[in-house]
Amino acid sequence: MPREFSRGRRIADLIQRELSTLIQREIKDPRLGMITINDAKVSRDLAFADVYFTMLPETNAADAEKVLNGAGGFLRTHLSKVMSTRTTPKLRFHYDATIESGAKISKAIDEARAEDLRRHDGAEN
């Protein structure tokens, strides 16, 4: 049974916190909007870290993913100064579309409920 806070989870949390600050302060690329690091997942051997982000505006998410993956070496170098591990995981950035899809699903549910109420009110009259 895995422990509640494994070493990998603690390292992922550290990576998430540090990348949030590093991206905001160190990367000055106009293609990046407001970046939020949602999650980081580290492989068991700590070789890779998959970093999930969202951004505003979402229009150029693919460009932002390319920019962040291109800056991965720079960010990894800065992370290595903060982390107390022998190696620093290679960073792989992925755009996280769950917030967008959640908003679409919520809107669809609201519309379905409103339609159901209209039909129900029409049946009573």
Domain that holds residue 23: 7-97
Q: How many residues does the chain have?
A: 125
Query: Which is higher by pLDDT, 65 or 5?
Result: 65
Concatenating the DSSP letter of every residue in 56-112 gives ESGGGHHHHHHHHHHTHHHHHHHHHHH--SSS-PEEEEEE--HHHHHHHHHHHHHHH
pLDDT (mean) for 6-17: 91
The model scores a pTM over 0.85: no
Predicted pLDDT at 92: 95
pLDDT (mean) for 58-84: 89
Structurally, the chain folds into a number of domains equal to 1
If you ran DSSP here, which 8-state letter would residue 13 be given? H
Predicted pLDDT at 76: 93
Report yes or no on 80 lying in a domain.
yes
Give CA–CA dist 64/50, Å, rounded.
15
Position 125 pLDDT exceeds 70: no
> What residues contact residue 62 under an 8 Å CB cut-off, 6+ apart?
95
Report yes or no on 123 lying in a domain.
no
Task: Count Cβ atoms below 10 Å from residue 82 Cβ, excluding itself.
Answer: 13
Position 103 pLDDT exceeds 80: no
Predicted pLDDT at 90: 95
The CATH number assigned to the domain holding 21 equals: 3.30.300.20
The whole-chain average pLDDT of the chain stands at: 86
Tokens found for residue 19: 């990348």
Predicted pLDDT at 101: 75
Report yes or no on 102 lying in a domain.
no
Report yes or no on 61 lying in a domain.
yes
